[in-house]
Amino acid sequence: MNMKISYARGILKNRTSSKLFVHSLGVEETALRLATVYGFDKKKAALAGLLHDYGKIFPKNVLYRFALKYNIVDDLALQEPALLHAPVGAWLLEHELGIVDQEILEAVRRHTTGFPTMIPLAKIVYLADYIEPGRNCPGVQDLREIAFSNLDRALFYAVSRTMSYVLERKKILHPFSVFFRNSLILSLRKNNRELENDEGY
Ligand SMILES: [Fe+2]
Ligand SMILES: [Fe+2]
């Protein structure tokens, strides 16, 4: 790890809206709590949570230009502005802020679509983004409880609801999300044989 959390907070405070800054602090705090419960690196989780939306500092046309110039995303993500800030944000954290920790970069890169083989830090940031205290989408309170007892189960609900949201709004559903959800189902089936029917994840 190569950046102090207080320094990263200062960067965000100066460069983001107060709404995004408060959201980032909420994800930092939630990622730290999840890392504590599940025994993962707390400092890394806090920093990755804090910086996960770094890409949102930049206008969408700037993200698009970076994505195109440096070949950061696939063709599908290039067509959907909402899919740019995570992978381009990770690239900017590396090349603009000098973050070299590959796990932090991976967690930031995957926090919108998920990924079939998510490292634990990426899972924590994905979930923290969904349940941080500022979120009030339907069912989030239940999910906050599940999150601290069964990480994959909470992730399954989070990615399923995110996919429903994307489908309802006729936006592009990135295949990474489908692969991620399938990988969670397989993991839950393996760990909970009694849940092998289609209910109870
Ligand atoms: Fe985001
Ligand atoms: Fe976020």
pLDDT digits (tens, 9 = 90+) for 22-45: 999 999 999 999 999 999 999 999
**150, 158, 153: which is closest to 131 by C-alpha?**
158
The answer to whether 161 touches 140, Cβ cutoff 8 Å, is: no
Which ligand is in closest contact with the Cα of 90? 1
Q: Which tokens in the block code for residue 142?
A: 């239940």
From ligand 1's centre to the CA of 111, what distance in Å? 6
Residue 1 above 60 pLDDT?
A: no
**Interval 118-166: pLDDT, tens:** 999 999 999 999 999 999 988 999 999 999 999 999 999 999 999 999 9
Q: What is the pTM of this model?
A: 0.94
Angle, in degrees to the nearest 10, between helices 151-168 and 175-191: 150
31: nearest Cα among 15, 23, 42, 20: 42
**pLDDT at residue number 194:** 47
Q: Which residue has the tokens 């969904």?
A: 130
Gap from CA of 200 to ligand 1 centroid (Å): 28
Q: Please say whether the beta carbons of 85 and 53 come within 8 A.
A: yes
Please say whether the beta carbons of 67 and 88 come within 8 A: yes
The Å distance, Cα 196 to ligand 2 centre, comes to 32
Mean pLDDT (the chain) is 94
The DSSP letter of residue 132 is: S
> In this predicted structure, what is the pLDDT of residue 138?
86
Cα of 191 to ligand 2 centre, how many Å?
Answer: 29
Could you say which ligand is closest to the alpha carbon of residue 132? 2
